Chain A
Amino acid sequence: MTLLAIENLSKRFSSGGREVVAVSDVSLTLGPGETLGLVGASGSGKSTLARILMRLLPADGGAIRFEGKDWLSLSGANLRHRRARMQMVFQDVLGAFNPRATVASVLNDPLRIHNIVPKAGRATEIAMLLDRVGLPANYAERSIREVSGGQRQRIAIARAIATKPSLIVLDEAVSALDVSIRGKILELLVELQEERGISYLFVSHDLAVLRAVSHRIAVMDAGRLVETGPMRQVIENPQSPAARALVHAVPRLLTEPTEGPSHDV
């Protein structure tokens, strides 16, 4: 069964009279409960693809089917209504929130807009959401600016799961976090997936992060999809030059004490 099918998607930008092909004839599928890692260097088109999927940019050509329906033809109230099923978490957690908001109002909005819980039950639901992402219930009253970067990303995840989506698009969702916090957020995402069957499209330039959570991987280069396959297969035996470069670029932790200085002193 397919949850999401992207078919022959294309997008061009014109910049100073020059045509740039950002996404060129890309087709992808994603199944329920599956994580697809979308990787590529800067300018590969992966973020443009994600933005088209989130309906933040129009496509020039191609189609997207989501939960069996034409996703790109939705508009107005229909689109707003259906957005409950496809949520997103961005890299810049502070930029993704109204800076004057409290944690409670950030979580209340989706519950209200998508009519998930009647008004009387919302405080309890907010407490449950906070608990689910590992934050104490009394965080509800805090300002979104008062909490740390890792906590803010937990709140962004709570906001995303509030509408009971089938798909969450994660756009560099852990890239700005310290490594010790990053691992905890990745663990939380995997737990939520196992518990609720959510699918993730995880966009990142960091293959090591994608390795931790992705079942399959899609590699983009210069707007094209150049390679796709099971995660393990692609990192063990990359076929395209772009995938080989990405695999090669991941820094390895060298711990051999016998190596000595790496250069002549």
Chain B
Amino acid sequence: MSTLCQIRNLSVTYRGQTLPALDHLNLDIAAGEWLAIIGESGSGKSTLARAVAGLLPPGAKLAGEMRWSSGGSPLPGRDLGFVFQDPSSSLNPVLSVGEQVAEGARRHLRLSWTEAYAHALKMLERVGLPQPDKAMEAFPHQLSGGQRQRVAIAAALAAKPGILIADEATSALDMVVQAEIVSLLDELVREAGMTLIFITHDIALASGFADRVAIFKDGRLVETGPTGLVLSSPREAYTRTLIASHRDLATPPLIREATP
């Protein structure tokens, strides 16, 4: 696999903060890989996502380097799609669903509005929105959380970017909808051969489909490696703690089983 981006000594400090949110990070992103960035609150995982996407807020201080194999930084919307945690704040509340999905296609694929609308309708069908023709006219608040996230995915992928960053894209959804959205992302990313950067606090969710994981804590990279290897033989104590903290249906319960 060829390297898509070499991150060297990258530090990010937000305005008004003394401690860096991301501290001397070294990480390579390979073209076509599915990389999961895993960490708890304050680990720097979202800061990394925003730095890579060029979406850091004004006033954030950036030091170090991101060397892209293409020469320049990817253009958000065209080369890189971004799906946020909360589609009710990432989608524009006063634009119809059709307009927001068509917008990216029109601007970046240089389509006419008519062509862009036809493309948007196809995208909404592709992301499995029920009644896509009706949904074109709907506003974000008229949709459920899961449907809004499908729209956000359609908008992120409208211009056929080569890179998709999903930043806690399923964390605000209930478990059943989360599973549906994860399998949709899996399908779309696979189909288009995209590079996926999947930011999550949920190590189990990442274990299901990432090629490689990078574990973050307090703004630093703790360890990285192939998913199976890191999860079966973690080198660092913090990774072991994260794995031990995970609960699923096979984890022994904390209570005695019999009903009192």
What residues make up the interface of A, taking CB atoms closer than 8 Å to B?
31-35, 41-43, 149, 178-180, 182-183, 186-187, 190, 193, 205-209, 211-216, 230-232, 235, 245-263, 265
- Asked if B114 CB lies within 8 Å of chain A CBs, one says no
From known contacts A212-B253, A253-B231, A255-B228, infer whether A262 and B259 are also in contact, taking CB-CB under 8 Å: no
CA distance A183 to B146 in the complex (A): 27
Could you say which of A32, A149, A178, A213 has the most chain B C-beta atoms within 10 Å of its C-beta?
A178
In the docked arrangement, what's the CA distance between A251 and B202, Å?
Answer: 9
Cross-chain contact A205 with B253 (CB below 8 angstroms): no
Q: 1/0 contact trace for B5-41 toward A, CB 8 Å?
A: 0000000000000000000000000001110000011
Q: Given the known inter-chain contacts A251-B205, A261-B211, please indicate yes or no for A216 contacting B247, CB distance below 8 A.
A: no
Q: Does the CB pair A186–B254 fall under 8 Å?
A: yes
Q: Are B211 and A190 closer than 8 Å at their CB atoms?
A: no
Q: Which of B46-54, B90-98, B160-168, B172-180 contacts A (4 or more CB under 8 A)?
A: B172-180
Residue of B247, B248, B259 contacting most chain A CB atoms (<10 Å): B247
Q: Given the complex, which residues of A lie within 8 Å of B204, measured CB to CB? A: 251-254
- How large, as a class, is the contact surface on chain B? 35 or more
Contacts of A207 in B (CB 8 A): 175, 249
**Inter-subunit contact B207/A253 (CB<8 Å):** yes
Q: A35 contacts B40, CB within 8 Å?
A: no
Instruction: Write 19 A-B pairs (CB below 8 A) sorted by A numbering.
Output: A41-B176, A179-B242, A179-B245, A182-B245, A182-B247, A183-B245, A190-B254, A206-B175, A208-B247, A212-B253, A212-B254, A214-B253, A231-B253, A248-B179, A250-B248, A252-B208, A254-B227, A262-B209, A263-B209
* CB atoms of A262 and B210 under 8 A apart: yes
Q: Is residue B201 within 8 Å, beta carbon to beta carbon, of the partner chain? A: yes
Contact residues in A for B3 (Cβ distance below 8 Å):
none
Q: Taking the complex as formed, is B89 at the interface, i.e. its CB lies under 8 A from any CB of chain A?
A: no
A-B pairs with lowest CB-CB distance, top 7: A178-B40, A251-B204, A257-B228, A205-B174, A249-B179, A249-B175, A253-B204
Contact partner of B247 (CB less than 8 A), chosen from A149, A183, A247, A257, is A183
C-alpha spacing A27/B32, complex, angstroms: 52
Smallest CB–CB gap between B224 and chain A, Å? 15
Closest residue of chain A to B145 (Cβ to Cβ) is A42
A205 vs B33: C-alpha distance when bound (angstroms): 31
Contact B254 A256 (CB under 8 A): no
Tell me whether B237 is interfacial, beta carbon within 8 Å. no
| Across-interface contacts of B249 in A (CB, < 8 A) | 207-208, 211, 235, 247, 250, 252
- Given that A213-B255, A249-B178 are contacting pairs, would A180 and B242 also be in contact in the complex, using a CB cutoff of 8 Å? yes
Is there a chain A Cβ closer than 8 Å to B203's Cβ? yes
Smallest Cβ-Cβ distance to A187: which chain B residue = B254
A247 nearest CB across to chain B (Å): 7
Least CB distance from B214 to A in Å reads 16
Closest to B257 in A: A232
- When distances are taken between beta carbons in the complex, the residues of chain B under 8 Å from A235 are 249
